Amino acid sequence: MLRTRVDQHFARALAQSPDEMQCREGFDRCCHVRLSVFSLEAERIAAALAHLSSTDPELRAAVRRQADDPAATDRCAMLVRGRCAIYDERPLICRSHGVPVRVEAPGEPPSQTCCPLNFTQVDPPASSVLRLEALNQPLVVMARMYDAAAPRVELAALARASDR
């Protein structure tokens, strides 16, 4: 599964450079953005939110409130009190945050980016770099297999939706 592969890549990068990877609970700068996901991932997130309704209704209510909070439009609707409310079901893009990422856009030279907190003293090892295209290509294929239109769904819309 693609999620497992991304998680394993992150774990290897962390094991290889533990002093350079600052990702841990409370470091949520990468979550200060509004995201959308393919319906393929939206389905899992909706199920996680429905599960949250029964296991932690207070947290589920906080996620719902935050989706429409004008003071919270600068961060992910799933980020409540500095933590991801659906961490185990977070989208692929979130799973890749923290590791150095190589971006290969058509007509542009490849570029590499990383969380500004990570790899501040040394360059990341090549094996820690995630080729974003290697993540995006299979995700798009799976999303189109799941739903030919491959629509994107705002996480805030999922956060405010009623649970099934």
50-59 pLDDT, tens per residue? Answer: 999 999 999 9
Strands (E), 8-90: 36-38, 79-80, 83-84
CA angle 156, 86, 71 (to 5 degrees): 40
pLDDT at 125 over 80: yes
Amino acid in the structure at residue 71: A
Cβ proximity of 38 and 143 under 8 Å: yes
pLDDT at 159 over 90: yes
Q: Taking residues 46-71, report their average pLDDT.
A: 95
- According to DSSP, the β-strands at 130-131 and 101-103 are parallel
Q: pTM for this one? A: 0.87
Helix-helix angle 2-16:132-146, to 10 degrees: 160
pLDDT band (50, 70, 90) for residue 145: very high
Amino acid in the structure at residue 93: I
